[in-house]
Structure 1
Amino acid sequence: MFGLGIVGLAIYAYTIYDVVSSNFGGQNDKIVWVLVVIFLPFLGTILWFLIGKKATL
């Protein structure tokens, strides 16, 4: 079970890195996405990969 926690933490950290390093919108958009991911870790990660990442392409 400990291994799943490590994997979850890695995905969470990668999501925050991906939001910060993406080129889209302005600084405010990045701040909003980072806050969504921080305050809603599971849901925020899913939303970023389903909605946010598509907006950056």
Structure 2
Amino acid sequence: MGLFKGFLFFGLLSIIIAILWLMALIDILKSDFKDGLTKVIWLVFVIFLPFLGSILYFFIGRDQKLKND
């Protein structure tokens, strides 16, 4: 039974990470940034370091977007 709980935990964790990653990618692609290079840098960072890149994007990168008034 312990093995099943481990699989369940890591399965749910993987799904949460995948959803977070997808949300970050969609937000980056839909948003306008102050310059085009910033968008490319965030895309590369989130694609190559999915978990860390997504977390950092939501804490740091979202502040770099242009504000839509």
TM > 0.5: yes
Contact 2:17 2:51 in 1 (8 A): no
More helix by percentage: 1
**Which deviations, in whole Å up to 9, do the C-alpha atoms of 1:4-45 show, x marking residues without a partner?**
211111111111111111121233321211000011112211
1:15 lines up with 2:31 in the alignment: no
Whose Rg is larger? 2
Counterpart code for 2:59: L
Runs of 4+ in 1 over 4 A off after TM superposition: none
Distance (Å, rounded) in 2 between the aligned partners of 1:5 and 1:51: 23
* TM-score (normalised: structure 1): 0.80
Partner of 1:53: 62
Aligned length: 57
Give the % identical residues: 35
